[in-house]
């Protein structure tokens, strides 16, 4: 299996979900954790060769996390949980054991100390 991560900055714009799925297919990822999806509800949608699992976020359309899962890998998905708009995880059935993939957003170095402190408290 091949895994990837991507800060997509927003899937809220028209056509961006399809474009993201097309780009992931180019790299042949089986599963990709994406951040800053900015979706306004929770659910699953099919996008090209992928199913996109996404979680609800706060009303300000910031952050949010999701997973693109290759269609052939979807039967292995056991649990998808969105803990907060900063963190989510997915559990896959493996041959010998479960595979747990965490998807966590953290502020980068150029962010203010205040935003880093808020992140550490949550």
- Taking the C-alpha atoms of residue 6 and residue 78, their distance in angstroms, rounded to an integer, is 22
Quick one: average pLDDT of 75-80?
A: 95
**Res 31: pLDDT:** 94
- Condensed to tens digits (0 to 9), the pLDDT of residues 10-48 reads 676 677 788 888 988 999 999 998 887 777 677 898 999
Q: What is the CATH number of domain 3-121?
A: 3.60.10.10
Domain range annotation of the chain: 3-121
- Condensed to tens digits (0 to 9), the pLDDT of residues 41-74 reads 778 989 999 999 988 665 555 677 889 999 999 9
At residue 75, does pLDDT exceed 60?
Answer: yes
């Amino acid at each position: 299996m091949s895994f990837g991560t991507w800060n997509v900055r927003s899937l809220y714009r028209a056509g961006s979900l399809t474009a993201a799925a097309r780009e992931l297919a180019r790299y042949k990822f089986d599963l990709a954790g994406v951040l800053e999806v900015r979706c306004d509800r929770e659910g699953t949608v099919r996008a090209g060769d992928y199913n996109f699992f996404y979680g609800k976020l706060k009303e300000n359309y910031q952050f949010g996390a999701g997973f693109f899962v290759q269609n052939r890998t979807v039967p292995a998905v056991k649990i998808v949980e969105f803990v907060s708009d900063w963190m989510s995880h997915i559990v896959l059935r493996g041959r010998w054991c479960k595979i747990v993939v965490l998807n966590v957003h953290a502020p980068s170095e150029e962010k203010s100390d205040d935003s880093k402190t808020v992140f550490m408290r949550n």
